[in-house]
A and B are shown apart, each in its own frame.
Chain A
Amino acid sequence: MILANVLELWSSVWPAGVTMLGLGSGFALVLLIASEKLKVTVDPKIEQIHEALPNLDCGACGFAGCGQYAKAVLGDPELLGKCAPGGPETSSKIADVLNLQVSDSGPQQRPIVRCRACTADKTLYAQYQGIQSCIAANALANVQACGFGCLSFGDCTRACKFDALHIVDGMTIVDYEKCTGCTACSKACPRNLIEMVPFGYENMMIVACNSKETGKSTRSICKVGCIGCGICVKQTDVFSVEDNLARIDFTRYEPNEQAETAMNKCPTKVIIYRGKTAPEPPQPGKKPVAATKA
């Protein structure tokens, strides 16, 4: 009885099955021919380069993603070394694929934030109620007395894909363990506070200020701003003062005693260390112990 039912069912189903089978193989044939006829030959090198890349799609190279960059490098070997998160290791892998020599590009680039004023150090002229982003605040109002310092709305932190930037008490702090040097933050900051510098040592000495105001006006609005007094320049010539602002020539910087003295003598304590194991920056006003005794 059951058998008869199954047979009956089968007899009504098999034409459909055969049709589907026929259709399926028909399409398969079409696809087979198409894939042969319309074949796009992908350079296997692109695949190889793509594999060598970190596949973060962060855009630091200036292309939409790692795939785009892989294609571009193949066409223009000049673009080698643009992948900041990958660093020299990736570059040498790509160079192997392309049969090129990589020149040593020196230490890796890392960002420094040239403002060390925390919320209490800053002077505010007014209350800002507009769109909560640095680019808007910078354009629509000169809320903060200092027209050069960090606005603390965190455009840079949002730009960082690696969670390496944080706003702590009004200061932008880089987590150098996580940072890959992709430069996204330095492009995002409307006040150009974030500078990419060759990080030759674990900790770098930086002048954490961007104020081009005269010393007097900087002093009147910020406790920790550079006043361009030039005391640091007298210690060592890696420092220079231009537009009332001290700068360090990072290509020549090395940790030595003169630099250390310059840092200690800085009256507003704007010369600080930043890096993986940097000590807590000193506060202005309190003179270092050695200096008071002398």
Chain B
Amino acid sequence: MKVNVKGRFSFPGGIHPPEKKDLSREVEIQPGPAVKEVAVMLSQHIGAVCQPLNRKGDAVQAGQKIGDCDAFVSAPVHSPITGKVKEIALRSHAVLGRSSAIVIEAFSYSPTRRSYFKLKDDFDEKNYSAGQICEAVRQAGIVGMGGAGFPTRVKIEPNPQMPKETLIINGCECEPYITCDYRIMLEWTNQIIAGIKLARKASGCSQVFIAIEGNKPKAIEVMNRALESFANSDSIKVIPVKTKYPQGGERQLIKAILKKDVPTGGIPPMIGVVVLNVATAAAIAEAVISDLPLTHRVVTVTGEAVAKPGNYYVPIGTSVEDLIEFCGGVTKKSAKVLLGGPMMGIAIADLKTPITKATNAITVLTKEQIGRAKFARRQTACICCGRCLEVCPENLNPTKIAHAVKYNFLDVAESYYISACMECGCCSYVCPANIELTGYIKTGKIFLARQKKKIPG
């Protein structure tokens, strides 16, 4: 089949930031550092927080469940290493501030390139029932690995009220710098396809699209070739989508491929769509076929300030410090560490922050880059150029919302659909007046959440 890598599929709005992916895109997935200690966050995902199942001093095996919760929207956590529970203490979490984590001291840990999973030649998803797959996914603690961390079981489980038809596998990786999904697609291709088939079986979807941005022709080719060699994969199609940020956003992807809009405030299952990340699909295969829980993930460590940028297979709970140290340490030039990429990533100050299931990258930027960054420069009044409106992929009016938040008119911000903002950062990126639009919008959302909970009567 001739591969069309042009990528006609697109959505309105969006930007073209410098990709910077060549720092790490040709580096194979490598084993991470030999960690001595990991801190597994009890809250790795959206939904209820896990309760620890062990006490201080308990010995734990690699892959043993160490935290769980009864709530429907939740996922258990497992120990990635064999060792001893040192303490249950607070660690920094990029979103939640200080939050509890189980700190495990390793007896011995030898880093590997990938899990011990091996796809057998006679793999057939028909051998597994939908219920079985959902249960295995839940038990393995799989959550969305692209960033948000929504429990995957909840996504793929059939729901009679919202029947699912389409499964979209998100291999866009539109965020600059990050390459972990790209490497997974190249190196774990068959595993991803096995995972996709299992997810398709569990959710009952009839068509599957694997969306890959046009700037990754190799991944598109590899995927297509692998699909040909698999039996029963006619309904799975690779779609080259347009290279544009934020193409990997759920709503943007659905818009680009299916030309459908997810209702504001709604979720994709409402229109019969499930979106899964490629790394999540790979984890599903491991969980269902070999009963391996989600304890490791591939993290891209990148940025101009990192000596050895690359993609590393590391235990979840490894501290950012260990990982950066492993990649050549913090150089003098480095000035800002981000969990995630430069657009949607969150700046962290505490390098002891552990990696969670949803951490796809660590980006270290140099002082020079920060100095050139917009917000270090002078902020002026809005010049009403309308560029933020043009690029907003959610068709919002960022300047109106941001200024409403700035001057505390939260009802105005709400009437301009502040909650529909996906915090992609496009508006801040283009604003010639250097206004921190996304920052204000984020702040406003927290304000509103607090207000709704706290006001009496």
Q: Is the CB of B97 within 8 A of A140?
A: no
Query: In the complex, A138 Cα to B442 Cα: how many Å?
Result: 12
Q: Is the CB of B457 within 8 A of A142?
A: no
Decide if A279 is an interface residue (CB 8 Å cutoff): no
Query: In the complex, A143 Cα to B349 Cα: how many Å?
Result: 5
- Among the 9-residue stretches B125-133, B172-180, B222-230, B443-451, the one with 4 or more Cβ atoms under 8 Å from chain A is B443-451
Query: In the complex, A52 Cα to B229 Cα: how many Å?
Result: 83
A242-279 with Cβ < 8 A to chain B: none
1/0 per residue, CB under 8 A from B, across A122-141: the answer is: 00011001110101101111
Q: A125-B350, A142-B349 are in contact. Are A133 and B98 (CB under 8 A)?
A: no
- Shortest CB–CB separation between residue A270 and chain B, in angstroms? 18
A136 touches which of B90, B346, B443 (Cβ 8 Å) = B443
1/0 per residue, CB under 8 A from B, across A169-199: the answer is: 0000000000000000001001000000000
Query: Contacts of A141 on B, CB cut-off 8 Å?
Result: 346-349
Query: Contacts of B350 on A, CB cut-off 8 Å?
Result: 125, 142, 145
Query: Contacts of B353 on A, CB cut-off 8 Å?
Result: 142
1/0 per residue, CB under 8 A from A, across B430-446: the answer is: 00000010011011001
Decide if B375 is an interface residue (CB 8 Å cutoff): yes
Q: Is the CB of A125 within 8 A of B349?
A: yes
Query: In the complex, A211 Cα to B97 Cα: how many Å?
Result: 12
Interface SS of chain A:
loop
- Shortest CB–CB separation between residue A163 and chain B, in angstroms? 18
- Shortest CB–CB separation between residue B239 and chain A, in angstroms? 35
1/0 per residue, CB under 8 A from A, across B95-136: the answer is: 001100000000000000000000000000000000000000
Query: Contacts of A57 on B, CB cut-off 8 Å?
Result: none
Decide if B455 is an interface residue (CB 8 Å cutoff): yes
Query: In the complex, A118 Cα to B446 Cα: how many Å?
Result: 27
Indicate the size class of the contact surface on chain B. 20 to 34
Decide if B332 is an interface residue (CB 8 Å cutoff): no
Q: Is the CB of A147 within 8 A of B92?
A: yes
Query: Contacts of A126 on B, CB cut-off 8 Å?
Result: 347, 349
Query: Contacts of A136 on B, CB cut-off 8 Å?
Result: 439, 442-443
Decide if B420 is an interface residue (CB 8 Å cutoff): no
1/0 per residue, CB under 8 A from B, across A211-235: the answer is: 0111001000000000000000000
Task: Give the interface centre of B90, B375, B436 by most chain A CB atoms within 10 Å.
Answer: B90
Q: A129-B375, A136-B442, A140-B346 are in contact. Are A214 and B89 (CB under 8 A)?
A: yes
- Shortest CB–CB separation between residue A203 and chain B, in angstroms? 28
B117-173 with Cβ < 8 A to chain A: none
Q: A138-B97, A142-B98, A217-B89 are in contact. Are A131 and B440 (CB under 8 A)?
A: yes
A: residues with CB less than 8 A from B are: 62-63, 79, 82, 125-126, 129-131, 133, 135-136, 138-145, 147-148, 187, 190, 212-214, 217
Identify 11 new A-B residue pairs, CB closer than 8 A, beyond the known A142-B98, A217-B90: A131-B440, A131-B443, A135-B446, A136-B442, A136-B443, A140-B442, A142-B353, A187-B450, A187-B455, A190-B446, A213-B90
